[in-house]
């Protein structure tokens, strides 16, 4: 009996050690993933800051380095040449589509655009596998086009990176103090003026990109204004263009819950 008890205790001890080691390895892997993500984003930020003084408009050329190398008719399109500020990043990845920066937050990242809305969920801005993924533009948006609605997605990482800081828009003081962020695309610079932030689920189609007419777009604007946690109406009209920031949130649904921030786009001076 004594031998059996000793063997039983030994088995429990070994099991506990195995569970502990597994958990430690998992935590170490997650921590390393966070570290790699921060390092990669730091490299991108360095390239971006080094290029900023040389930002300029270029001429026109057949777009072969971007997502839209070909038009709907299958023929190459001609778009304005991406500003030189983006050239270092485009050399790393032709899917680069812009840069987003929200002062007073960790949001200061490159924006990419893939062939669908899955590709960059778990790939960084260089196209490498990454648990944190990237900030990416909806594949239906067309860089360089005067679109009514641009959508950016990003994970809500537990270390606060990517779109993790969007959660602070639930606080009135933060909402009021962070009503603007900057969005640079390959062709333009914008100041985005926040007018709505709210919890939702994917049942609400807040990611519409095509509107039949002004009335349809106006109805959409009214819906997203009404849903806002706080009144941020600044006279949005159907003549405006907007950008949406979307991230996961688990308040309303553990799978399909989202937190959304909408802003009006105005060309930067």
Active-site residues, by number, are: 248
Tokens of 43: 């490299």
Sequence-distant (6+) residues with CB within 8 A of 229 are: 169, 170, 175, 197, 198, 199
Any residues with CB less than 8 A from the CB of 118 and at least 6 apart, and which?
none
Which residues, in sequence order, are bridge partners of residue 137? Answer: 152
What are φ and ψ of residue 114, in 5° steps? -105, -175
Q: Whole-angstrom Cα distance, residue 191 to residue 263?
A: 9
Are 58 and 52 spatial neighbours (Cβ–Cβ below 8 Å)? no
């Amino acid at each position: 009996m004594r031998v059996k008890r000793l063997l039983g205790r030994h088995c429990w001890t070994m099991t506990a050690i195995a569970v502990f080691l597994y958990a430690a390895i998992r935590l170490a892997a997650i921590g390393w993933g966070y570290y790699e993500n921060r390092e990669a984003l730091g490299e991108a930020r360095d390239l971006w800051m080094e290029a900023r003084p040389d930002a300029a408009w270029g001429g026109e050329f057949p777009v072969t380095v971007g997502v839209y190398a070909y038009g709907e008719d299958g023929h190459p399109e001609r778009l304005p040449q991406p500003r030189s500020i983006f050239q270092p990043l485009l050399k790393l990845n032709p899917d680069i589509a812009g840069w987003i920066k929200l002062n007073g937050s960790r949001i200061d990242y490159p924006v990419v655009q893939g062939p669908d809305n899955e590709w960059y969920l778990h790939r960084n801005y260089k196209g490498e596998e990454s648990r944190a993924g990237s900030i990416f533009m909806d594949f239906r948006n067309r860089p360089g086009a005067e679109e009514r609605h641009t959508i950016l997605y990003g994970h809500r990482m537990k270390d606060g990176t990517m779109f993790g800081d969007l959660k602070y828009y639930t606080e009135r003081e933060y909402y009021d103090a962070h009503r603007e962020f900057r969005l640079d695309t390959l062709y333009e610079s914008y100041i985005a003026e926040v007018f709505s932030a709210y919890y939702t689920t994917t049942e609400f189609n807040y990611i519409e990109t095509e509107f039949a007419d002004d009335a349809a777009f106006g109805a959409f604007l009214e819906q997203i204004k009404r849903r806002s946690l706080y009144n941020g109406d600044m006279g949005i009209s159907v003549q405006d263009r907007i950008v949406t920031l979307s991230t996961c949130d688990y308040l309303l649904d553990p799978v399909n819950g989202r937190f959304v921030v909408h802003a009006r786009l105005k060309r930067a001076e």
